[in-house]
């Protein structure tokens, strides 16, 4: 028995959004009497953090603290339209719609503040802690709570905004495939280091290095979770998962998590990840969508590392111990199946 080590590389890109049917999302935002801003959406948070990042976008645009933002989603009676959460579109589309809505609301907020402070709105700025103040004369200021009360009860104004992002439908030219199907591309390179046991066929992933260029990391910890959680999922796709393990035969389909194998805590490799940022002009504060792509590069990186380790080329996912052993036997000029 020998444990053979190898290293494999993979580099990928991934599109943000896909607009073959037109791709809109809308957002509404309004201030309550006490200066909390409610972002109304029908967008779905799958646990990836959409509600958190769109609240960040609203807070940044308004120039207010994150805690001044509430996100109300997803109810089709109260939230404006959203296509849905798929195609790595949520942060990009909904983030842009929220920024547009918040930009409109900010202009009204500064306008009302200008009336309250009896100054020119163009001279006002936000300090990020809740105050709207005169640039260069910061003592002249008003807190958003007082301002929102004044808007409601003195000025009869609504501090609100409407936002929409829409990428128009791209028709595919049938003959050539010419199309404009996405808004931008994110990039990744994964390096996997594996150890292959040539007696059991078990592949252990020792380390994964991930470098992602994602436009801008709106929330670097959640971006890290996507990168490292996705690497786990890609590793799982590479080595463990299949609803039909002997595809195209339908037999032996797993029915629950005791039969459908996935890596457990002990299987998770050491991970080293780095983010690069090349802000996308179309993205909310430059962000690109990375919701989906993080499972992709690990799969070929592991396939290539297995080859580097033991010289077998696995071209059928998943790379189960059975497939590794059969490939090793074939490499040695033996065919297990021929010998029963």
- Footprint on residues 232-251 left by other proteins (CB under 8 A): 233, 237, 241-245, 247-250
Minimum Å distance from CB 56 to other proteins?
Answer: 5
Q: Would you say 201 or 215 has its CB closer to other proteins?
A: 215
Shorter beta-carbon distance to other proteins: residue 36 or 52: 52
Kindly report whether the peptide bond that precedes residue 318 is cis, defined as omega within 30 degrees of 0: yes
With CB under 8 A as the contact rule, the residue among 178, 199, 270, 335 that binds other proteins is 178
Cα within 13 Å of Cα(171), Cβ side: 3
Distance between first and last Cα of the chain: 21
Among 6, 37, 73, 163, binds other proteins (CB under 8 A): 73
Rounded least distance, CB 209 to other proteins, Å: 5
Burial (CB count within 10 angstroms: exposed 0-12, middle 13-18, buried 19+), residue 5? middle
Q: Which of residues 190-209 bind other proteins (CB under 8 A)?
A: 190-191, 209
Does residue 48 contact residue 226 with C-beta atoms inside 8 Å? yes
Binding-site string for other proteins from residue 14 to residue 53, where x marks contact by CB under 8 A and - marks none: xx--x-xxx-------------------xxxxxx-x-xx-
Q: How far is CA 61 from CA 1, 37, 182, 247, 303, in A?
A: 61, 12, 25, 50, 44
Q: Quick one: 51 or 141, whose CB is closer to other proteins?
A: 51
Which of 223, 188, 218 lies closest to 14, judged by CA?
Answer: 188
Q: Tell whether residue 74 is a contact of other proteins (CB under 8 A).
A: yes
331 binds other proteins (CB under 8 A): no
Structure tokens, 331: 């490499």
Determine if 162 is a binding residue for other proteins (CB under 8 A): no
Q: Which one, 180 or 335, has the nearer CB to other proteins?
A: 180
Using CB under 8 A as the binding criterion, the count of chain residues that bind other proteins stands at 129
In sequence order, what are the residues at sequence separation of 6 or more whose Cβ sits closer than 8 angstroms to the Cβ of residue 331? 310, 311, 312
Q: Which of 4, 189, 202, 206 binds other proteins (CB under 8 A)?
A: 189
Catalytic site includes residue 195: no
Find the catalytic residue in 171, 178, 292, 322.
292
Residues 253-292 that bind other proteins (CB under 8 A): 253-257, 260, 262, 272-281, 285-286, 288, 291-292
- Torsion over CA: 227, 228, 229, 232 (sign): positive
Q: Please say which residue, 152 or 288, places its beta carbon nearer to other proteins.
A: 288
Residue 229 burial (10 A CB sphere; 0-12, 13-18, 19+): middle
> DSSP for 274-310?
EEE----TTSGGG----TTGGGTTHHHHHHHHHHHHH
Site for other proteins in 76-135 (CB under 8 A): 76-77, 79, 81-87, 128
Binding letters toward other proteins, positions 292-311, x by CB under 8 A: xx-xxx-xxx-xx--x----
Q: Give me the least distance between CB of 152 and other proteins, in Å please.
A: 25
Six-digit token string for 273: 């990840």
CA distance 6 to 310: 8
Catalytic residues: 292
């Amino acid at each position: 028995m020998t444990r053979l080590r190898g290293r494999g590389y993979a580099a990928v890109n991934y599109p943000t959004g896909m607009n073959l049917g037109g791709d809109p999302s809308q957002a509404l935002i309004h201030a309550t009497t006490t200066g909390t801003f409610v972002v109304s959406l029908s967008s779905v948070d799958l646990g990836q953090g959409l509600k958190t990042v769109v609240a960040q976008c609203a807070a940044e645009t308004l120039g207010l603290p994150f805690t001044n933002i509430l996100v109300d989603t997803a109810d089709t009676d109260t939230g404006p339209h959203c296509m849905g959460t798929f195609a790595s579109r949520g942060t990009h589309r909904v983030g842009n719609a929220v920024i547009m809505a918040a930009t409109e609301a900010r202009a009204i907020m500064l306008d009302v503040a200008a009336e309250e402070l009896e100054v020119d709105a163009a001279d006002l700025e936000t300090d990020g802690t809740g105050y709207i103040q005169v640039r260069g004369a910061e003592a002249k200021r008003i807190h958003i709570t007082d301002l929102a009360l004044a808007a409601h009860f003195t000025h009869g104004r609504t501090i609100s905004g409407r936002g929409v992002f829409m990428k128009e439908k791209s028709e595919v030219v049938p003959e050539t495939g010419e199309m404009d199907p996405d808004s931008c591309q994110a990039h990744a390179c994964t390096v996997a280091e594996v150890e292959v046991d040539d007696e059991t066929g078990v592949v252990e992933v020792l380390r994964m290095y991930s470098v992602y260029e994602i436009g801008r990391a709106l929330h670097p910890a959640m971006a890290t979770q996507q990168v490292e959680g996705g690497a786990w999922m890609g590793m799982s796709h590479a080595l463990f998962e299949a609803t039909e393990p002997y595809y195209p035969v339908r037999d032996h389909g797993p029915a629950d998590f005791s039969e459908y194998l996935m890596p457990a805590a002990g299987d998770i490799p050491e991970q080293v990840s780095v983010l690069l940022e090349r802000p996308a002009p179309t993205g909310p504060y430059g962000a690109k969508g990375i919701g989906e792509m993080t499972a992709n590069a690990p799969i070929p990186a592991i396939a290539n590392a297995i080859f580097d380790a033991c010289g077998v080329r696995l071209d059928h996912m998943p790379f189960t111990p059975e497939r590794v052993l059969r490939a090793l036997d074939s490499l040695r000029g033996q065919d297990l199946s021929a010998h029963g």
